[in-house]
Each structure stands twice: as structure tokens, then as C-alpha cells.
Structure 1
Amino acid sequence: MSDQQALRLGTRRSKLAMAQSGQVAEAVRRVTGRPVELVEITTYGDTSREHLAQIGGTGVFVTALRDALVRGEVDFAVHSLKDLPTAQPADLALAAVPVREDPRDVLVARDGLRFEELPDGARVGTGSPRRMAQLNAYARSHGRTIETVPIRGNVDTRIGYVRKGELDAVVLAAAGLNRIGRIDEATDFLSVDVVLPAPGQGALAIECAAHDADLVAALAELDDPYTRAAVTAERSLLAALEAGCSAPVGALADLPRALDPARAGEAPMADEQIVKEMRLRGVVGTTDGSTLVQLSTTGPVPGTHDRAMALGRELAAEMLAKGAAGLMGERAH
């Protein structure tokens, strides 16, 4: 490979996708010494106005990027890891999972309100059945009611519903607001004890052609083994539940440095290297919040892909035994 030849990075066109791809591009420039140019690609998920559960959810934001990789139109691509189908194509390599951003969800509400301060019957916008299920369950458990309103659109569109007074609040991923420099617009950080994030939320996936061994090795410099272990366990749970990425499934693997969300994105401290256990939590629920199956398991910090996969499968089996299958609206095809 010529040192001067630019690497082509495939990315979705949204402001968030461009921001996170730009950050990865800078990191790749540092580790390869090569220029990186962004190639904007429109995905079906970007053009369809239907809700994700209606268009299938799984893969709608990544298929066009993967097709461009296979055709050789781009050299590598950056995805939000939570959008990736759980099955990895043989011809593509998940070369790197960089350090994860804050995995929590946040509330952007009128008048600076926190979730507990929303009035009874407040209209809360989210396109995620997972968020609907947990928010409605939390409200129910406190003797309150909220109305979850299905919405789609980019960050500006979603926050716009609140600014225009059409909704009392919307729920977004903290990672996305962080990456575009707008986290100060969040009025409340939702504890993972209240709302478990989507499997892989806050993490990025860097993919390239599996046959390009030099590029796979170069991109692997950006891989964070702690983050990869966590998201592998979370996605193994999702796969074992046979659920798509728009199903009402939440999961989070707590690794040593992730136990304190305020330190998300930091390198582990020296003394944290000796912590041996990881907790994996999962939840499945009906969107009205009337029924949740929420369980957790603890195991050794996975040192291998197989151990992380096993932890996810074990928790999924326990959740299925408790009736999780009957609570999911979308099943894999």
C-alpha cells in the first residue's frame, strides 16, 4: 500500500455519523500515517420515514456501507455498533471496537426538567421500544403515567419536538450528544438501573474487508479489549434471544472502568487490571411497561471471544426461561 494513498472511510451522512467518523478518521491517520477521506453513503434507514420496527430495524443503517466495502468503493467503514446485525459476514472483519463512550440514555426535557419532575401524562418521544418499555415500567412503579410517543429523525429533529412544545421530553443516547458536542442540552442522565441501554450502545464498530490483512492489523491498533469484551457479551445475549436491534431488549456489561459512567472513555487505572469479574444485565419488556423480565449474571472478565459469548448465552437462557420470548415484538428472520 502506498503511504500517500488516501484511505476511503465509508460513513452515513447524518451529523452524528459524520462527527464520529471524523473522530475515527483522525485516529486512523495517527496510527497509519496515511490521509483518510470520508465517503458519504446513504442507507435505507436514512431515507425511509417508517419506524424501525416497521422496516425491520436490523441492518437498515449498515447494509449500504457493507455493500460499498464488498464492492471495494471504500476501504473501511464506521458504524454505531448497536446498529450492527449480530451475525458477522465472513468477508468482512470487525477490525476494531474503540473505547466506548458513555452508554447511558439521557432526557432532553422542557424547562430543564428531570424525569422524576415530568408531570403526570407527560409526552415523551422515543423511537425505541426498549426505552418505551423501561420508561413506562419505571413510571408505573412510582404510581405515575407517561405517554411514550414514537418519533424518528436526527438529533435536531428530535430535540425540535421539545423546543416547539410538541413533546415534553425526548430520550437520546448520551454518546451521540457527546460526539456532536451537545451533551449540555441533556436535562437528566437516566441511570442504567432505570433504563438499560441497547446492546453495544455508545460503542463504535470499524469494519473492513477480511482479506486486507494489512488494513485489519492497522485498524486493530484502535481496538479496546475491555469494550470489545463487554459488547460481545451484550450482543451474544441479543443473538441468543433471537431479537432484532429494534426489539425491546436492553443489555449492559459492567467492566471495571465502566462501573462509574462519569469515567466512560478513560483508560483503565493500573489497579483495575486485577478486577476479575464482569456483570452482565439484560432486560426485555412489553412497550407499555406492564411486564419486564430483568436479570443479571456475573462471570470472570472475559479474556476470549468465546467466554464473552458464553456469558451472553447463559443470561439469555435464564431470561427465556422466565418468559422473555413472549415479550419481544420483533424476531430475527
Structure 2
Amino acid sequence: MTASTATTTLRLGTRGSALARTQSQTVADALTAATGAAVELVPIVTEGDRSRAAIQQLGGTGVFVAALRDALLAGEIDLAVHSYKDLPTAVQPGLTIAAVPGREDPRDALVARDGLTLGELPPGSTVGTGAPRRVAQLRALGLGLDVVPIRGNVDTRMGRVSSGDLDAVVLARAGLSRLGRLDAVTETLDPLQVLPAPAQGALAVECRSGDARTRELVGRLEDSSARSCVVAERSVLATLEAGCSAPVAAYAEVAEGDAGPELFLRASVTAIDGSDAVRGSVSGPLPDAAALGRALAAELLDRGAAELMAVDA
């Protein structure tokens, strides 16, 4: 441990929700364990936290990260922890993703009344979710569910089930895991039914591009397989020119191929009313992650993805 590492406290910007603070504290603890650096959490309020409007109405991607990035660029904090799926796909000048730590299970999870699974919910059951991707895929299953938009933190959403207001909600399993709430999950959804959002379950640790010391320290948290998967998934999103308010799903896994580790990438675009969808998959070496995502997105576009993204509910 160097003297500067021991004496300088790193200021880590975080949103104020329980999930964001838990994620940030996990990164802070890992950073201290790996480097010996002291880390202080600095709460930052974002536009997405202030508003109760739907994500689409807020302008979609970026509403949960802009204030954190402004604080980074202003030198008010040294690093920020984001849920990677909240980040715009465009590069932010002056900032860099210094590490993608190990990823949680990226699948979606159902929290339903009476311990029910998705297939056991009667037709007409109300299922809450804030994500257009989930809305579209749940409708496409043809189960006759009434899918309704919701906002709020994890406890608020699950509370609408326990209160009887909704029959079920669909949430990211990763968030429930980080909060120690997996006991509430009544079914972890198979990606064949509901494909996850690009980068779901992954964290992005961001710092200033010119801050070599922080970049080096944070870089010790890097999980190269997690980054390859996220790069492939977000490359699909970027090529489709879609954000978190579009019904786009992508899920990459690392598996052992004939010539070593290989990336297996699936993606889909579903009309928001569930009436139609295009799906595809591709595989290849991990260093080709971005190219694999671009190729798969191009295939989906050739098959009508842009038209499906334009279909209204």
C-alpha cells in the first residue's frame, strides 16, 4: 500500500436509493479490500429519483446518471457506481468505465401473490413493471395478463403485491439479490420466456479519464468476462439506436467452445403490444464482443426490428 493510497479518501458518488447505496457500498468494500484505499459514499440526487413519471416521459436513458456524471466532471467526486443498464450507449467525453465488477444473475424475477409462478397467474391478473421491454415480452407470451406500468423502489413495488393492489411484479433478480430479498421471488424467469435487458445485473464503475490513480485502483475490480458480455449486449442496443425505453433485450453468456472461451449472444426486439417479435443469436470469441453485437443487431434490423420498436401500446 502506498502512502497516497492510505491517506487519500476516494469519494464515491451514489444515488440515494437502498439498492444504489447497497451496490455502491459493495464496490467501496471491494475497493478497500483490493487496494487499502478509504472510500466515502457521497449521495447524489438524480432527475430520475426526483420524478415519479414513467421512464419514457423523463426522456429515457441517462436520467439516473447525468447528475452523477456532472459531479464527476466537476471534481466533486472521484468515482461513481451505476447500474450499467442505466447508462446511455454513447461515450461520455472525459469519463471512462474503469471497471465492470463480477455480474449478478441478469435474469428477471417474478414476485407474485400466494407464491404463484407466471404460468399459474389466472388470465386478467395484474402484473406491474416499469420496463417497456418486460411489458412487450409479457404481452407476447399470450397469457392474458394485464401488464401495468409502475415506478418506485424495490420495496414500493413489492408492497403493491403484499397490499393486494397488484397480483405480481417483475423485477431484476440482481437487485433483489443485492438487497437480500431473494426470499420474495416466486419464479426466476427463463430467458426463453423473458430475455433480460442489456447489461442487467452488471455494475459500471466510472471515473475521470485523466485521473490515472483512481483508474488504476478501480481497475483492480475488473471482471473481463462480465465486461465482454456487457459490451456485446450494449453493442446491440447502440446499433439499434435504442435506449432503456425501447423493448430491446440482449443476453450474453461465456461458454467453453472448441477453441476456448466463447461468447453466446441472444437478442430480441418485441412490439410493445406483444403482437410480433424478432429474435436471433450469434457466437464468437470474447475479443469480438462489440462486433458480435453489431452483427446481431444488423440482422434484427434486416428482419424488421425498427418497425417493431415504433409500434405503440
Q: Bin the TM-score by the shorter chain.
A: over 0.9
Q: Give the direction of change, closer, same or farther, for the CA distance of 1:272–1:327 in structure 2 (3 Å limit).
A: closer
Deviation at 1:275, TM superposition (A): 3.4
Partner residue in 2 for 1:311:
292
Q: Give the direction of change, closer, same or farther, for the CA distance of 1:272–1:177 in structure 2 (3 Å limit).
A: farther
Deviation at 1:224, TM superposition (A): 0.4
CA distance in 2, matches of 1:179, 1:273: 35
CA distance in 1, matches of 2:28, 2:57: 33
Give 1:12's aligned amino acid.
R
1:76-225, aligned counterparts within 5 Å? 76-138=79-141, 140=142, 144-225=143-224
3-state secondary structure, aligned to 1:255: strand
Deviation at 1:88, TM superposition (A): 1.7
- Cα offsets for 1:176-204 (capped at 9, x unmatched): 00001001100000011111111000000
Partner residue in 2 for 1:259:
none
Partner residue in 2 for 1:277:
262
CA distance in 1, matches of 2:284, 2:63: 33
CA distance in 1, matches of 2:112, 2:83: 25
- Kindly indicate whether the alpha-carbon contact (under 8 Å) linking 1:248 and 1:329 is maintained by their aligned counterparts in 2: no
List gaps (5 residues or longer) in structure 1: 257-270
Deviation at 1:165, TM superposition (A): 0.6
Partner residue in 2 for 1:295:
280
Deviation at 1:31, TM superposition (A): 2.0
- Cα offsets for 1:181-239 (capped at 9, x unmatched): 00110000001111111100000000001001121111111000000000001000000
Identity of aligned residues (%): 57
Does 1:322 pair with 2:303?
yes
Deviation at 1:32, TM superposition (A): 2.1
Give 2:277's aligned amino acid.
L
Partner residue in 2 for 1:24:
27
CA distance in 1, matches of 2:259, 2:226: 16
Q: Give the direction of change, closer, same or farther, for the CA distance of 1:109–1:156 in structure 2 (3 Å limit).
A: same
Select the residue among 55, 67, 72 that pairs with 1:69. Answer: 72
Deviation at 1:326, TM superposition (A): 1.1
CA distance in 1, matches of 2:95, 2:197: 23
Deviation at 1:277, TM superposition (A): 2.4
Does 1:35 pair with 2:38?
yes
CA distance in 2, matches of 1:137, 1:241: 20
Does 1:247 pair with 2:246?
yes
TM-score (norm 1): 0.90
3-state secondary structure, aligned to 1:3: helix
Q: Give the direction of change, closer, same or farther, for the CA distance of 1:126–1:184 in structure 2 (3 Å limit).
A: same
CA distance in 2, matches of 1:255, 1:43: 34
- Kindly indicate whether the alpha-carbon contact (under 8 Å) linking 2:272 and 2:309 is maintained by their aligned counterparts in 1: no
TM-score (norm 2): 0.96
Structure 1 runs of 4+ aligned residues shifted over 4 Å read 271-274
Select the residue among 268, 286, 291 that pairs with 2:271. Answer: 286
Does 1:48 pair with 2:51?
yes
Root-mean-square deviation (Å): 1.5
CA distance in 2, matches of 1:272, 1:28: 33
